[in-house]
Amino acid sequence: MMDDALSVLLDWLFALDTQTALFVSEIRTPLVTKLFTSVTGLGSATAALVFLGLFWTAGWRETTKRAGVALAITGVVVATLMATVTRPFPPRPVCQTTGEAVARSRSPSPSPASISARTT
């Protein structure tokens, strides 16, 4: 009984995932790719601010200050790497199925620091 319910749920989730992927591939253009990249970066920054807010709310003032300084330093390092380690998208990337390749992108995932280490 439980296995049947789990199986139905997983089938539904896989179908939803497939439909979502097909929809995104239909609307994908270079502009949408840049928009998705920007939203991803904003999500990371928002998550960092949420953690700082939780630390502050919990009364962990010293931890909040230290985490804030660490995040600020990390932000400067990442911004510097993103400005200096740029490269064009490949001609037919998996994440972009239509249109012209974007002229330049920010450092690709997973981490600008690891890319810098691999390219130097």
Q: Give pLDDT, residue 33.
A: 78
Please list, residue by residue across 79-90, b when 16 or more beta carbons sit within 10 angstroms of its beta carbon and e when fewer do.
eebeeebeeebe
- Buried b / exposed e along 11-37 (16+ C-beta atoms within 10 A): eeeeeeeeeeeeeeeeebebeebeeeb
The ranges assigned to domains in the chain are 29-119
Q: How far apart are CA 48 and CA 44, in angstroms?
A: 6
Give me the mean pLDDT over the 60-82 stretch. Answer: 90
pTM above 0.95, yes or no: no
**Quick one: pLDDT at residue 88?**
66
> How many residues are given for the chain?
120
Measure the N-to-C terminal CA separation of the chain; round to a whole number of Å.
56
Contact 112, 78 (CB under 8 A): yes
pLDDT in tens, 72-99: 998 899 888 878 877 665 565 555 555 5
How confident is the prediction for the chain on average, in pLDDT? 77
Residue 35, pLDDT > 50, answer yes
